């Protein structure tokens, strides 16, 4: 019979080994820890009571964008093993015409030929013969296929019905795995779940999983004792029974059984997990099991697309959000094809997470909608206005460069009455113009 009605860790009668004194220093940022810090920053900034966040998938979408634009690459680790996940789908959807100007758009040909960046990336056109509804259907069909139909919609027509939209970046993934030690005991439906809050919070219900005995839990749990929480690492296997480096990590903040968890303890536990990576890595390497059992609810979270733009703006480098160049080009006709600067207009994110007795399924999709930047249609020129002191040279810049003539201009001497070029007629008296403006 289940010994506790809430998500709990059950110590058996055997004594557990003493735990080491917790470290309080934070892990330094290195190439190998960059993703750890960035993904945890996403989790800390974005908190929702009943949803899940595919932090790695968000990073993947922005890494593709960063590679395309050669922008903010230092934010990501040099090694790309994490990005080469076999179950990930990557795509760029590019408009063929700027709606406001009717100028043609295209993916930068140099980028399109760069297989180091676009190898395995699907390229599709948001054709002017279509509309926001058909574009959304195309993107969502790709998303649904990539996530095994776990996420059937990542963008809607309203997300694309903006004349500034020039490109959409999509990253989608699906993963599925098995527990090395499946929950073999009875799962009790209707078990009270106390959630977070204060003692007056009305309990909900859950389906509580458990192990039948210590041997069914692999001889004990990989249980790490932290300063603010207890952490259980659940080793996983691929669907063809190969070991992986992925663990189900169950973090139970300190608190009392059969009472809600203090939200501040939730935050403290999350911070400790982030800060003590080295201790966690060492613990996992040792694989020392303790005489303890885990009881935890089955879980299914299907999060509809949410606007993740603010969180991404807080975490991602500003240039990658605001100054995207070298990806899309616009045909200015007389001027020819030129770069069309963009910015991130919206980030849409959806997830699916299911945890059950024998394993888990998870899917995530991130769509980064890129807008034309202000002034991108016709770049505003920088004015070099010499209405104050300046220097003027005539220089020979040939094989033997030298100064022919030089003038240091500090006053209006030689300026006010300087003659116009022969036959030049396009001249106005500024003072006379000012008088005309006043009369009008």
**pLDDT by residue, tens only, the chain of 440 residues:** 333 334 455 554 333 333 333 333 455 678 888 999 999 898 888 766 567 889 999 999 999 999 999 999 999 999 888 898 778 999 999 999 998 889 999 999 999 999 889 999 999 999 999 999 999 999 999 999 999 999 999 999 999 999 999 999 999 999 989 999 999 999 998 898 988 887 777 888 899 999 988 999 999 999 999 999 989 989 999 999 999 999 999 999 988 888 889 888 888 989 999 899 999 999 999 989 999 989 989 998 888 999 999 999 999 999 999 999 999 999 988 789 999 999 999 999 999 998 999 999 899 999 999 999 865 444 456 666 676 665 655 656 566 665 555 566 666 666 666 777 777 777 777 666 555 555 55
Whole-angstrom distance, CA of residue 67 vs CA of residue 85: 17
- Considering the domain architecture, whether residues 150 and 237 belong to the same structural domain is answered as no
Q: What is the 3-state secondary structure (H, E, C) of the chain?
A: CCCCCCCEEEECCCCCCCCCCCCCCCCCCCCCCHHHHHHHHHHHHCCCCCCCCCHHHHHHHHHHHHHHHCCCHHHCCCCCHHHHCCCEEEEEEEECECCCCCCEEEECHHHHCCHHHHCCCEEEEECCCCCHHHHHHHHHHHHHHHCCCCCCCCCCHHHHCCCCEEEEEEEEEEEEEEECCCCCCCCEEEEEECCECCCCCCCEEEEEEECCCCHHHCCCEEEEECCCEEEEEEEEECCCCCEEEEEEEEEEECCCCCCCECHHHHHHHHHHHHHCHHHHHHHHHHCCCECEEEEEECEEEEEEEEECHHHHHHHCCHHHHHCECCCEEEECHHHCEEECCEEEEEEEEEEEEEECCCEEEEEEEEEEEEEECCCCCCCCCCCCCCCCCEEEEEEECCCCCEEEEEEEECCCCCCCCCCCCCCCCCCCCHHHHHHHHHHC
Q: Which domain holds residue 402?
A: 390-439
- Considering the domain architecture, whether residues 183 and 311 belong to the same structural domain is answered as no
- State the CATH number of the domain containing residue 231: 2.30.39
pLDDT at 402 (0 to 100): 56
Whole-angstrom distance, CA of residue 182 vs CA of residue 237: 11
Query: Of 281, 299, 317, which residue constitutes the final position of a domain?
Result: 299
Q: How far apart are the first and last CA of the chain?
A: 93
- Considering the domain architecture, whether residues 286 and 307 belong to the same structural domain is answered as no
- Considering the domain architecture, whether residues 38 and 172 belong to the same structural domain is answered as yes
Residue 1 lies in a domain: no
Residue 2 lies in a domain: no
Residue 28 lies in a domain: no
pLDDT at 427 (0 to 100): 73
Strand partners, 409: 390
Total domain count for the chain? 3
Whole-angstrom distance, CA of residue 229 vs CA of residue 24: 14
- Considering the domain architecture, whether residues 272 and 346 belong to the same structural domain is answered as no
Residue 24 lies in a domain: no
Query: Of 234, 264, 299, which residue constitutes the final position of a domain?
Result: 299
Contact (CB, 8 A) for 53 and 301: no
Q: Are β-strands 204-210 and 8-11 bridged in parallel, bridged antiparallel, or unpaired?
A: unpaired
Query: Of 299, 323, 350, which residue constitutes the final position of a domain?
Result: 299
Strand partners, 124: 93
Whole-angstrom distance, CA of residue 235 vs CA of residue 213: 17
Residue 142 lies in a domain: yes
Residue 377 lies in a domain: no
- Considering the domain architecture, whether residues 190 and 165 belong to the same structural domain is answered as no
| Count of other CB atoms within 10 angstroms of residue 285 | 8
- State the CATH number of the domain containing residue 97: 3.30.497.10
- Considering the domain architecture, whether residues 150 and 227 belong to the same structural domain is answered as no
- Considering the domain architecture, whether residues 39 and 166 belong to the same structural domain is answered as yes
- Considering the domain architecture, whether residues 295 and 349 belong to the same structural domain is answered as no
- Considering the domain architecture, whether residues 98 and 156 belong to the same structural domain is answered as yes
- Considering the domain architecture, whether residues 97 and 123 belong to the same structural domain is answered as yes
- Considering the domain architecture, whether residues 306 and 274 belong to the same structural domain is answered as no
Residue 427 lies in a domain: yes
pLDDT at 194 (0 to 100): 87
Question: Phi, psi (5° rounding) for residue 376?
Answer: -75, -25
Residue 400 lies in a domain: yes
What CA–CA distances, in Å, run from 266 to 237, 252, 270, 283, 370? 28, 8, 6, 22, 35
């Amino acid at each position: 019979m289940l010994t506790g009605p809430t998500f709990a860790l059950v110590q058996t009668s055997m004594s557990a080994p003493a735990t080491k004194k917790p470290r309080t220093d934070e892990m330094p940022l290195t190439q190998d820890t960059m993703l750890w810090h960035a993904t945890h920053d996403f989790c800390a900034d974005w908190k929702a009571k009943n949803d899940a966040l595919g932090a790695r998938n968000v990073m993947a979408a922005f890494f593709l964008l960063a590679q395309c634009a050669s922008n903010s690459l230092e934010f990501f680790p040099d090694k790309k093993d994490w990005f080469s996940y076999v179950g990930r789908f990557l795509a760029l959807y590019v408009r063929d015409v700027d709606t406001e100007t009717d100028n043609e758009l295209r993916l930068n040909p140099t980028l399109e030929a760069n297989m180091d960046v676009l190898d395995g990336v699907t390229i599709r056109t948001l054709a002017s013969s279509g509309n926001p509804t058909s574009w959304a259907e195309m993107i969502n069909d790709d998303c649904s296929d990539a996530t095994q139909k776990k996420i059937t919609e990542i963008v809607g027509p309203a997300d694309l019905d903006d004349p500034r939209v020039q490109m959409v970046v999509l990253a989608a993934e699906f993963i599925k795995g098995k527990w090395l030690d499946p929950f073999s005991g009875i799962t009790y439906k209707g078990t009270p779940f106390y959630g977070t809050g204060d003692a007056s919070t009305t309990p909900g219900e859950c389906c509580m999983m458990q192990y039948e005995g210590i041997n069914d839990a692999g001889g004990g749990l990989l249980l790490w004792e932290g300063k603010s929480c207890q952490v259980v690492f659940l080793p996983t296997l691929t669907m063809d029974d190969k070991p992986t480096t992925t663990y189900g990590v169950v973090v139970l903040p300190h608190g009392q059984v059969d009472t809600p968890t203090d939200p501040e303890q939730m935050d403290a536990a999350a911070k400790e997990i982030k800060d003590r990576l080295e201790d966690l890595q060492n613990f996992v390497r040792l694989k020392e099991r303790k005489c303890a059992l885990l009881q935890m609810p089955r879980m299914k979270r299907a999060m509809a697309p949410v606007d993740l733009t603010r969180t991404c703006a807080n975490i991602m480098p500003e240039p990658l959000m605001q100054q995207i160049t070298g990806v899309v080009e616009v045909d200015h006709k007389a001027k020819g094809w030129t770069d069309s600067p963009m910015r991130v207009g919206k980030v849409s994110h959806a997830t699916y997470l299911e945890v059950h007795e024998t394993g888990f399924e998870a899917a995530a999709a991130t769509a980064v909608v890129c807008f034309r930047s202000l002034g991108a249609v016709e770049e505003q020129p920088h004015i070099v206005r010499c209405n104050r002191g300046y220097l003027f040279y005539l220089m020979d810049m040939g094989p033997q460069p030298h100064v022919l003539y030089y003038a240091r201009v500090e006053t209006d001497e030689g300026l006010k009455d300087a003659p116009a070029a022969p036959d030049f007629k396009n001249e106005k008296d500024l003072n006379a113009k000012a008088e005309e403006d006043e009369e009008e």
